[in-house]
Chain A
Amino acid sequence: MMKKYLRMTLNERIQHLNLFINFTILVITGFTLKYPEAFWSSSISDVAMGMTYRGLLHRLSGVAVLTLGGYHILYLLFTERGRGILKDMIPQWKDAKDLLETLKNNFFINRPAKAIKMGRFNFREKLEYLGLIWGTTVMMVTGFILWFKTEWMTFFPMWTWEVAQAVHFYEAILATLTIIVWHLYSVVWNPDVYPMSWAWITGDLTEHEMELEHGLELEKIKAQEKGELKEFTEAAAMGGGRVYAVRREKVEEGGEKGSSLRRFYRIIQGFNETIKNWKGT
């Protein structure tokens, strides 16, 4: 079987799915307000009270994204893996050079094309992550101003609210188009991964994908496996924190099988222990 490299833990995949769903809801419910007569708005505007519940749904999803953002910050700060992500996400001078080299490759300035080895998070991903932070912050602030208009306008003049309205709208366009143009290119339309990068579902990347997108990271992992790189902790024996109760049971029982009820109890017990020993995924 082909060797797989962990890209996203279950926790991270759920975070991604959460953002994916809520972002989509926000986009649809938001632009339905701005373009109520558009054909794609009819799914909301044709339903009785649809337009009334649209606002409620938009706010709910906004709060959900905000909560997710808060959780993500805690995840980054208080788990080992999270701190690793944060460290690897910091933009480096190398990223700018990678970007430039990619451009040179694509314009046939580098002949032959130079192989670019990128780290755990390449310049595309870092750029997008920064954009996500920026976008979420802007949308959150302006969104709350729009939501709590009576409170806001008790202290500030109308035009500040209008600024928030304009920013919220244009930032929404920017965010949506960025996702379509940038993110969907990376994970869908990029000929290397087309029809789709499965990492958001399986959590793994193949060696080939690792070579293309994260060459430096691959070298690092291989060196760590040979024991040459001691301080590298992410891909530790526990599979980067990917611990499943079923697997633990197998290790403990050594292939022995009890009754189904007994096995079920052991699964729960194993699960409990996993939680107890959890150092962050």
Chain B
Amino acid sequence: MKGREDGFKAWRILGGGLPVFLMLGLILGGMARVAWGDNSLCLGCHQDESLKKQDAQGKSISLLVPEAGFKNSIHGKLSCWDCHIWIKDDKHAEGGKQAADKRVNCATCHKKAEKEYLQGLHSKMIMKGTERAANCFECHGKHNILPRKNPKSMVHISIIDKTCTRCHSDIPFVKEHGLGEAMPKEEFRKSVHGKTGEVTCTSCHGSHDLRSLIDPKSSIFRSNIPHTCGGCHPDITKQFIESIHGVLAARGRSDSPTCTNCHGFHGIKAKVDPDSPVNEKRIAKTTCPQCHAAERITKAYKLTTKTVQTYYDSFHGLSYRGGDTFSANCASCHGIHDIRPSSDPKSMIHKDNLQKTCGRCHPGASENFAKSKMHAVASIAGDEFGDKVVGWVRIVYILLIVAVIGGLTFFNFMDWLRKTIDRAH
């Protein structure tokens, strides 16, 4: 790999001088080579659709260069030799595949892009020997490169996701490279970001220098996600980084949620969409309980494991489970992005703020009302007198039901049996 790098370097020096030579050639009215921009000599052969060669794996590769595509591209005024600098003479094809020119170096002109690219994940994967990691032409095209602003360009804002999903939605490719889940092609398009037409893959992932998920400099590294999202949603990020979730996530707690844990990533939906995990009908069913009903997390943070269950059994939770959106869910009392622990005086559930929080739905909520214990199960084993009373009432009533209904059923069954027997005789 190092040798190849050095080789490039030597040619870069030569390549850098090439335009100068060409300018000279143009001015002097022609030298041994063909004039500026005149590619007729190359295209003479490469317009032939049947022109093919075999690559290292023995696959047949077409050597066709569509002239119209090249002429219309942003590089249309360049000559073939500007990029294909290894082609030494007109006879290059005779040497077979050995002599065939593969090495086009975009960095000859695009130095800044290359510098960025070398920082990115794709280039690192190439250096590790991954064959299909994206290089310049995978994303920008070959002979038909169009400027980024051109709506037909592979890197135009409306097309980038198609360019990326060529590989990242390809299930065999994703499996082979261990990229986790293949991204469904339309997932991003249908997301709230995809629909705007202003946000695309590169908005969050970066372009030339996009980095790995585990790279701390990456825009999608866990603790950087709030700031990446904050590029467009600064107010929310400001709230979030002060919340308990934001603080813990910033300290490297991998089980503390950031934006994506609740909102999802590629397929983020508007909160009014019933499929969105932050839709009010789903928030207390799947989104918060994914952690707060999870054994591992409730144990690690010494949270009560009963939080979700007690909510589900309370009036709020029961009505919510039936689909009532007027009933309080997690966010109604705890907040959304600015969730804070009850010990924090700014918290919605701090004891000084409870009356106000309850009062949002229960106008006239008194001080006594706000003292009510939440997320607690009353039982005869409870510490307080009230808990014990509630527990005993339940037990007494259950015994009463069993006795009364049992007695009535027994009486009626005997009555029925006697009457049936009488009828049979």
B-contacting residues of A (Cβ < 8 Å)? 32-34, 36-37, 41, 44-46, 50-52, 54-55, 102-103, 105-108, 113, 149-151, 153-163, 165-167, 170-171, 173-174, 177-178, 181-182, 185, 189-192
Q: Does B130 contact A (CB under 8 A)?
A: no
Q: Would you mind naming 14 contact pairs between A and B with Cβ atoms under 8 Å apart?
A: A51-B324, A106-B417, A113-B418, A156-B368, A158-B372, A159-B385, A163-B389, A165-B315, A170-B401, A171-B397, A174-B404, A182-B412, A185-B416, A190-B416
Task: Flag if B394 contacts A170 (CB, 8 Å).
Answer: yes
| Sample of 4 further A-B pairs with CB below 8 A, known A113-B418, A159-B378 | A34-B318, A51-B319, A149-B369, A158-B372
Task: Flag if B369 contacts A153 (CB, 8 Å).
Answer: yes
Given contacts A163-B393, A166-B394, contact A36 B409 (CB under 8 A): no
Task: Flag if B419 contacts A191 (CB, 8 Å).
Answer: yes
Contacts of B319 in A (CB 8 A): 33, 36, 51, 54-55
Task: Flag if B386 contacts A155 (CB, 8 Å).
Answer: no
In the assembled complex, the CB of B344 is this many whole angstroms from the nearest CB of chain A, namely: 23
How far is it, in angstroms, between the C-alpha of A174 and the C-alpha of B409 when the chains are bound?
12
Given contacts A103-B411, A149-B362, contact A159 B371 (CB under 8 A): no
Closest A residue by C-beta to B313 = A34
Task: Flag if A192 contacts B419 (CB, 8 Å).
Answer: yes
Task: Flag if A166 contacts B362 (CB, 8 Å).
Answer: no
Closest A residue by C-beta to B362 = A150
* Other-chain contact of A158, B386, B409, B423 (Cβ < 8 Å): B386
Task: Flag if B405 contacts A32 (CB, 8 Å).
Answer: no
* Other-chain contact of A157, B386, B405, B423 (Cβ < 8 Å): B386
In the assembled complex, the CB of A264 is this many whole angstroms from the nearest CB of chain B, namely: 50
How far is it, in angstroms, between the C-alpha of A192 and the C-alpha of B423 when the chains are bound?
10
Q: Does B390 contact A (CB under 8 A)?
A: yes
Task: Flag if A44 contacts B393 (CB, 8 Å).
Answer: no
Task: Flag if A170 contacts B397 (CB, 8 Å).
Answer: yes
Task: Flag if A54 contacts B322 (CB, 8 Å).
Answer: yes
How far is it, in angstroms, between the C-alpha of A148 and the C-alpha of B400 when the chains are bound?
27
Task: Flag if A191 contacts B322 (CB, 8 Å).
Answer: no
Task: Flag if A37 contacts B321 (CB, 8 Å).
Answer: yes
Given contacts A177-B405, A191-B416, contact A167 B397 (CB under 8 A): yes
Interface of B is mostly: helix
Given contacts A106-B414, A106-B415, A106-B418, contact A162 B390 (CB under 8 A): yes
Interface of A is mostly: helix
Task: Flag if A33 contacts B372 (CB, 8 Å).
Answer: no
In the assembled complex, the CB of B386 is this many whole angstroms from the nearest CB of chain A, namely: 3
In the assembled complex, the CB of A280 is this many whole angstroms from the nearest CB of chain B, namely: 33
In the assembled complex, the CB of A177 is this many whole angstroms from the nearest CB of chain B, namely: 5
In the assembled complex, the CB of B221 is this many whole angstroms from the nearest CB of chain A, namely: 40
How far is it, in angstroms, between the C-alpha of A55 and the C-alpha of B387 when the chains are bound?
27
In the assembled complex, the CB of A158 is this many whole angstroms from the nearest CB of chain B, namely: 4
Contacts of A157 in B (CB 8 A): 368, 371, 386
Contacts of A103 in B (CB 8 A): 411, 414
Task: Flag if B419 contacts A154 (CB, 8 Å).
Answer: no
Contacts of B394 in A (CB 8 A): 166, 170
In the assembled complex, the CB of A162 is this many whole angstroms from the nearest CB of chain B, namely: 5
Closest B residue by C-beta to A158 = B372
Closest A residue by C-beta to B318 = A33
In chain B, positions 309-348 with a C-beta closer than 8 Å to chain A are 315, 318-319, 321-327
Given contacts A106-B415, A154-B368, contact A159 B401 (CB under 8 A): no
Contacts of A189 in B (CB 8 A): 412, 416
Contacts of A163 in B (CB 8 A): 389-390, 393
Closest A residue by C-beta to B387 = A159
How far is it, in angstroms, between the C-alpha of A155 and the C-alpha of B417 when the chains are bound?
53
Candidate in B324, B363, B365, B372 with the most chain A CB atoms within 10 angstroms = B324
Q: Does B125 contact A (CB under 8 A)?
A: no
The 9 closest A-B pairs by CB, nearest first: A159-B386, A36-B322, A51-B324, A170-B397, A158-B372, A51-B322, A154-B366, A36-B321, A45-B322
How far is it, in angstroms, between the C-alpha of A190 and the C-alpha of B368 when the chains are bound?
52
In the assembled complex, the CB of A104 is this many whole angstroms from the nearest CB of chain B, namely: 11
* Other-chain contact of A41, B322, B369, B417 (Cβ < 8 Å): B322
How far is it, in angstroms, between the C-alpha of A167 and the C-alpha of B416 when the chains are bound?
32
Q: Does B172 contact A (CB under 8 A)?
A: no
Task: Flag if B368 contacts A160 (CB, 8 Å).
Answer: no
Q: Does B398 contact A (CB under 8 A)?
A: yes
How far is it, in angstroms, between the C-alpha of A112 and the C-alpha of B409 when the chains are bound?
24
Contacts of B365 in A (CB 8 A): 150
How far is it, in angstroms, between the C-alpha of A36 and the C-alpha of B322 when the chains are bound?
5
Closest A residue by C-beta to B400 = A174
In the assembled complex, the CB of B201 is this many whole angstroms from the nearest CB of chain A, namely: 37
In the assembled complex, the CB of B31 is this many whole angstroms from the nearest CB of chain A, namely: 80
Q: Does B384 contact A (CB under 8 A)?
A: yes
Task: Flag if A190 contacts B415 (CB, 8 Å).
Answer: yes
Contacts of A105 in B (CB 8 A): 418
Given contacts A45-B323, A159-B384, A191-B423, contact A36 B318 (CB under 8 A): yes
In the assembled complex, the CB of B16 is this many whole angstroms from the nearest CB of chain A, namely: 69
How far is it, in angstroms, between the C-alpha of A165 and the C-alpha of B391 when the chains are bound?
12
* Other-chain contact of B373, A33, A102, A158 (Cβ < 8 Å): A158
* Other-chain contact of B401, A106, A177, A182 (Cβ < 8 Å): A177
In the assembled complex, the CB of A231 is this many whole angstroms from the nearest CB of chain B, namely: 34
